[in-house]
Structure 1
Amino acid sequence: MAIVGVQLTIEDHHVVIDNGILRVTLSNPEGIVTGIQYNDIDNLLEVLNDESNRGYWDLVWSSPTSTGTTGRFDVIKATTLRIVVENEDQVELSFSRTWDTSLEGKLVPLNIDKRFIMLRGSSGFYSYAIYEHLQDWPAFNLDETRIAFKLRKDKFHYMAMADNRQRDMPLPDDRLPSRGQALAYPEAVLLVNPVEPEFKGEVDDKYQYSCDNKDSQVHGWICKDPAVGFWLVTPSNEFRSGGPVKQNLTSHVGPTTLAVFVSAHYSGEDLVPKLNSGEAWKKVFGPIFIYLNSAYDGDDPLNLWQDAKLQMLVEVQSWPYSFPESEDFPKWDQRGNVSGRLLVRERYISDDYISAKGAYVGLASPGDIGSWQRESKNYQFWAKADDDGYFCISNIHIGDYNVYAWVPGFIGDYKYDVVVTITEGSDIDIGDLVYEPPRDGPTLWEIGIPDRSAAEFYVPDPNPKYINKLYANHPDKFRQYGLWERYAELYPDKDLVFTVGVSDYTKDWFFAQVTRKKDDNTYQGTTWQIKFHLNNVNKNSTYKLRLALASATFSELQVRVNDPKVNHPLFSSGLIGRDNSIARHGIHGLYWLYNVDISGARFVEGDNTIFLTQARGNGPFLAIMYDYIRLEGPPIINKKI
């Protein structure tokens, strides 16, 4: 069968792009996707919704003086349609709106150009957007931006986002007050009278389906009759904020599918881009690919997930795309590459260099060590080092960058102090880089694994009243609702005590230092104890306590040694963290590392105790998740440097 060319039809209020495989209808001139026709389904999008609530770009913005992460929600409606390309091989449409001073306080001060592309023979379509803030425009905060698709609830019931994270989903009707009971926050609903009885007693919460950027390249929905898949493919994370381990929403009950580009989830206000007056800024979000597939009669519809993963690999290998027409999206020959090798120098582990196996190495805007995880305005480019520490970061936009890295198994962050300048076609080999993790003396004891996650610690089973069946007997059991309440059940009278050499952190270290609910329904902070034995103490030397945190939410971490009642702690972090990872079922948020000096005079020969207090107690979600804790003895003078 001959492949049909791409056809464009412009009507008074709609624009239609059709390549014989699918037919996409957009509102004219707003640029909202109102219809997707495919495989004898007249519209995959929710026909019960208003046309403006089917497939759209949106954002949340706020004034520069506002705090937090909430603001005005704006479904981006363009005012001008322009045909960028129209031929049998490709149609690219631009839906744009421009800002001027008459709109101050009414619309976000951005020029926004939404693009949609359909190619000949392609079972899907692409979308990207160009946001621009001119230098003399007002300041504002961009709290969130994304693209969203609302699918038909009568057809799409099966959701997939990973091989082990897919299932039949409840209906949106099950979340309504007549069928669902709202829990501790609006996103979490207990299904008490669902349409399908199999879901009764389950919790539905969109945050249970969040995913790290590095693992979130394809997700979507399957309609089983007829067998049709709707998939959102993100071929690159270069335009997403926060780096590879930033978590974002994916798909959830609706049926809804999202590509999130900027959000404060699992980070808080730190990842809200704040555009200043006098600051010129432009960024391209996307392109992302909306992929549709179908199965033959008799085939298992769930195989559509396997096909979607294969298509995702095709898209990743095709990056950067050659077909977008915007000059703001650089093609492969307008970009550069950086390669090298990262080694670790850890003299208390080995006299030789250690390969930085599995290290995440990236280029991001010049800044301080670790600043990449809070960087939200510009592009980031990351690669994973091989077993020998070699890395290659490809297709980097021209500009100035620092090289950043972190290595699983070692605390802290690496930064290459030399600014790397990428020019068109540059191919830079920066040779061997050496990371020396924070280390003063030999390890006396350690708790956990330094991997920026609390997943290795004890995650309890959920309360049977608040279960999501997907995560029963699942490695991601931390995604169950209400685990914060299990702490007080496990430790009803006294807080956690961990004895070095006796306790097992996989069983005896609760995954989060949460607050304790009291009888009067208020909450109080908690104090955990680490007990350990020292045979010899050098009273005149300094010991070092390393505290790597995987998450913090409105918390204050205090350290005391051998006297829990002393008024002034040896160390206090002050108020830290807004990532809300406990409530959102994430096992990590932003990473923190504290290095605490402890005078040997504070220790005794024999039994010692370090007290870790999370001092804030204003609610159930204030918490710290530890990544890794280590006590180092005094430096060994003759140890090779």
Structure 2
Amino acid sequence: MVLKGLRSNSEGSVLYPPVQLHINDDQVVVDNGIFSISILSPEGTVTSINYNGIDNILNDHNGINDRGYWDVNWSDPFDSKDNLDKLAGDELDVVVNNENQVELSFKRHWMFSRKNSHVSLNIDKRFIILRGTSGFYSYGIFDRPKGWPDVDVYQGRIVFKLQERLFRYMAVSDERQRVMPTSEDRKRGEPLDYPEAVLLTHPSNSLLKGEVDDKYQYSTENKDNRVHGWMCSDPPVGFWMITPSNEFRTAGPVKQDLTSHAGPVTLSMFFSTHYAGIDLGMKFREGEPWKKVFGPVFIYLNSVTTEDNPLSLWSDAKEEMLIQTESWPYEFPNSLDFLRAQQRGLVTGRLFVRDVELARASFAYIGLAPPGTLGSWQQENKGYQFWTQTDSEGYFEIKNVRPGSYNLYAWVPGYIGDYMYNSVVNVLEGSRIRMGILVYEPPRNGPTIWEIGVPDRTAAEFYVPEPNPTLMNNLYANQRTESQYGLWERYTELYPYRDLVYRVGVNEYQTDWFFAHVTRNVGNKTYLPTTWTIFFDLEDVGSTGNYTIQLALASATVSELQVRINDPRGVLPFFTTGLIGKDNAIARHGIHGLYWLYSINVLSSQLRVGRNALYLTQARGLGPFRGVMYDYIRLEGPPQSYN
């Protein structure tokens, strides 16, 4: 039986004691009878959480400013130095204090005298404790008045560091949960190709010896990053980060980010450059004003009796996530900047896709994001985004949209490219907007001659090799997954003398197309460009009309993909992407980063009857992580044979 508090209601006000606020010289303590939380004042960092007989769930071996805190990474555009700001407040404001709710605000007002030490943002960090609720809420309001100095902001998050002796079991999803190494285990381990990855050589738990630990192995797409955290077995207690909405996260529903990782650490990532690159950092120029609400997120505490299975804490946390999601947008935050349900709008419609023939856009991703260009939502980083999926018939309903001007974007699994509605959608308070029937026509110039892969914006359908048995995370031992460390090195092992060759109609992309087009390791820390070859036969070649190569990339990291046709030694490539990408998805176990689509025009004179060859060269060496992941490649015939 899970032991947890009920939500505030008429019964709760009877069953549970009132919320009590105690203000001391250097901290505030809030107690609702289920748990108590201590927050440094006026800094606004959480120093202690007392729950279910545990005096402090947080790691009290850390300094008082290194247990539960907000932070951002930022830099001056004229100075490349990366700065970490833990957003310590200057003043405490008790926003609400009654028997059913306490809301605290820890504010910091930026001044020009702080230009070199603090990010140029006004900060309002808030904590809410409700009667009868087993957990607390936190949200933040960041703003910049017009005229403030230029600044680059790369990452914003909430961090909680837990008691290591208690919390050893982590859960990110039904499939990804396990006993984790400690921070000391990592310190005693062997560093690998980048600091986050460590080979555990002398772990305190001998069962972990020989495994790789890397926090990026537990990254999750925004759409799936709803609940994660840690479990303690004695006493059986759970600590969970629940995110009821993605509206305040950046770069759309499939942006990947960190969750929980060894430490034990639990994060709520609001924005970052992970799996996208520095282009996703917020760049404020020429005195640009800005304001945004991040959160609230819910930090949930639960427990079971000693007779129960501690793993039931995870099932209960998932149930709580659904309850919190259904409650969004919350009614209890007391900032005018957080809009309630009646202040928001609704957008509905139906999406079709026309590619050769008209079809329902089943389970398409469709959403509202700040106005931009085709596909710009995946690099948008300052506004709010509201996404959903269509049903099997293509119908969609985008709920709880903040008033504002948006573009409507979409993409449909199974089809290349992006959709964008041709007019700005203006959502007003309480509005109900019916978009009607929308039709997406994906890029196509002619009939398909051959194709490799599935257009789903990932490389998941391609061949992911077995990991090096000495560099495994045993959580993934029974599955082929990109989450294993060092898979980029397997390319050189599998293709020691010549690069990948793929024969259309003979080979299968599931087994014969390596998931990442990476460099070749020739030893002595030297990496060379690689060229993949696609052989294909044409029974005839039209004398008029052009062919098209549709080339969709799922990821790119400091790469240049060059295309040559029937001439592998041509000094100049027929087509090049130029230097693209900084998403680092190959090193960070992502099966995709940002999406790139190229429609390449091919003259019929460049092809011949019989055997043809398409040469794909990733021309940039210099490191193991430079490379691209393909989403999909298609050769189309001339338009006249299509029509």
> Structure 2 length as normaliser, TM-score?
0.97
Q: Deviations over 1:464-491 (max 9, x none)?
A: 110000011135x110000000000000
2:325 corresponds to which of 300, 316, 326: 316
Equivalent pair of 1:71/1:143 in contact (CA under 8 Å): no
The answer for the alignment partner of 1:557 in structure 2 is: 561
Q: Deviations over 1:364-422 (max 9, x none)?
A: 01110000000000000001110011000011111100000000000000000111101
The answer for the alignment partner of 2:6 in structure 1 is: none
Q: Deviations over 1:54-76 (max 9, x none)?
A: 00000001112456xx7101111
Deviation of 1:538 (Å): 1.1
| Structure 2 gaps, min length 5 | 1-13
Whole-Å separation in 1 of the counterparts to 2:59 and 2:525: 42
Correspondences of 1:507-586 after superposition (within 5 Å): 507-586=511-590
Aligned-residue identity in percent: 58
Amino acid at match of 1:228: V
The answer for the alignment partner of 1:592 in structure 2 is: 596
Amino acid at match of 1:144: Q
The answer for the alignment partner of 2:199 in structure 1 is: 190
Equivalent pair of 2:446/2:642 in contact (CA under 8 Å): no
Correspondences of 1:315-334 after superposition (within 5 Å): 315-334=324-343
Q: Deviations over 1:327-375 (max 9, x none)?
A: 000111111010001100112xx3xx21111101000011100000000
Q: 1:538 to 1:637 in 2, by over 3 A?
A: closer
- Is 1:427 equivalent to 2:432 in the alignment? yes
The answer for the alignment partner of 1:410 in structure 2 is: 415
The answer for the alignment partner of 1:43 in structure 2 is: 56
Q: Deviations over 1:172-191 (max 9, x none)?
A: 11011xx2000000000001
| SS of residue paired to 1:102 | helix
The answer for the alignment partner of 2:211 in structure 1 is: 202
Deviation of 1:296 (Å): 1.5
| SS of residue paired to 1:312 | helix
- Is 1:126 equivalent to 2:137 in the alignment? yes
Q: Deviations over 1:227-278 (max 9, x none)?
A: 0000000000100011000000000000000000110000001210111232
Equivalent pair of 1:59/1:143 in contact (CA under 8 Å): yes
The answer for the alignment partner of 1:141 in structure 2 is: 152
Whole-Å separation in 2 of the counterparts to 1:39 and 1:373: 42
| SS of residue paired to 2:449 | strand
Q: Deviations over 1:21-56 (max 9, x none)?
A: 010000011010000000011110001111111000
Deviation of 1:136 (Å): 1.2
Whole-Å separation in 2 of the counterparts to 1:387 and 1:308: 29
| SS of residue paired to 1:40 | coil
The answer for the alignment partner of 1:158 in structure 2 is: 169
1:398 corresponds to which of 397, 403, 422: 403
| SS of residue paired to 1:574 | coil
Equivalent pair of 2:447/2:641 in contact (CA under 8 Å): no
| Structure 1 gaps, min length 5 | none
Q: Deviations over 1:57-115 (max 9, x none)?
A: 00001112456xx7101111101000000001100000000011221222111100000
Equivalent pair of 2:545/2:640 in contact (CA under 8 Å): no
Amino acid at match of 1:444: I
Q: Deviations over 1:495-547 (max 9, x none)?
A: 00000000010100000000001134311110000001100111332100011
| SS of residue paired to 2:581 | strand
- Is 1:446 equivalent to 2:459 in the alignment? no
Correspondences of 1:237-316 after superposition (within 5 Å): 237-316=246-325
Amino acid at match of 1:545: I
| SS of residue paired to 1:198 | helix
| SS of residue paired to 1:324 | coil
1:82 corresponds to which of 77, 93, 96: 93
Deviation of 1:297 (Å): 2.1
- Is 1:373 equivalent to 2:378 in the alignment? yes
Equivalent pair of 1:139/1:276 in contact (CA under 8 Å): yes
Q: Cα RMSD (Å) of the superposition?
A: 1.0
Number of residue pairs matched? 630
Whole-Å separation in 2 of the counterparts to 1:431 and 1:404: 15
The answer for the alignment partner of 2:8 in structure 1 is: none
1:629 corresponds to which of 623, 629, 633: 633
Equivalent pair of 2:446/2:641 in contact (CA under 8 Å): no
Equivalent pair of 1:123/1:292 in contact (CA under 8 Å): yes
Whole-Å separation in 2 of the counterparts to 1:329 and 1:170: 39
Whole-Å separation in 1 of the counterparts to 2:122 and 2:608: 65
- Is 1:17 equivalent to 2:22 in the alignment? no
| SS of residue paired to 1:162 | coil
1:28 corresponds to which of 32, 37, 41: 41
Q: Which moved more, 1:295-304 or 1:109-118?
A: 295-304
Q: After the TM superposition, which segments of 4 or more aligned residues of structure 1 sit over 6 Å from their partners?
A: none
| SS of residue paired to 1:586 | coil
Whole-Å separation in 2 of the counterparts to 1:100 and 1:417: 42
The answer for the alignment partner of 1:504 in structure 2 is: 508
- Is 1:101 equivalent to 2:112 in the alignment? yes
Whole-Å separation in 1 of the counterparts to 2:281 and 2:395: 33
Equivalent pair of 1:539/1:603 in contact (CA under 8 Å): no
Whole-Å separation in 2 of the counterparts to 1:140 and 1:338: 35
The answer for the alignment partner of 1:172 in structure 2 is: 183
Equivalent pair of 2:447/2:642 in contact (CA under 8 Å): no
Amino acid at match of 1:105: N
1:468 corresponds to which of 473, 476, 481: 473
Whole-Å separation in 2 of the counterparts to 1:540 and 1:385: 40
Q: Deviations over 1:98-133 (max 9, x none)?
A: 011221222111100000000010000000000011
Amino acid at match of 1:80: E
Whole-Å separation in 2 of the counterparts to 1:172 and 1:120: 35
Q: Which moved more, 1:112-121 or 1:269-278?
A: 269-278
| SS of residue paired to 2:620 | coil
Amino acid at match of 1:404: Y
| SS of residue paired to 1:478 | coil
The answer for the alignment partner of 2:21 in structure 1 is: 8
Deviation of 1:637 (Å): 5.5
| SS of residue paired to 2:439 | strand
The answer for the alignment partner of 1:61 in structure 2 is: 74
Whole-Å separation in 2 of the counterparts to 1:66 and 1:59: 17
Equivalent pair of 1:403/1:415 in contact (CA under 8 Å): yes
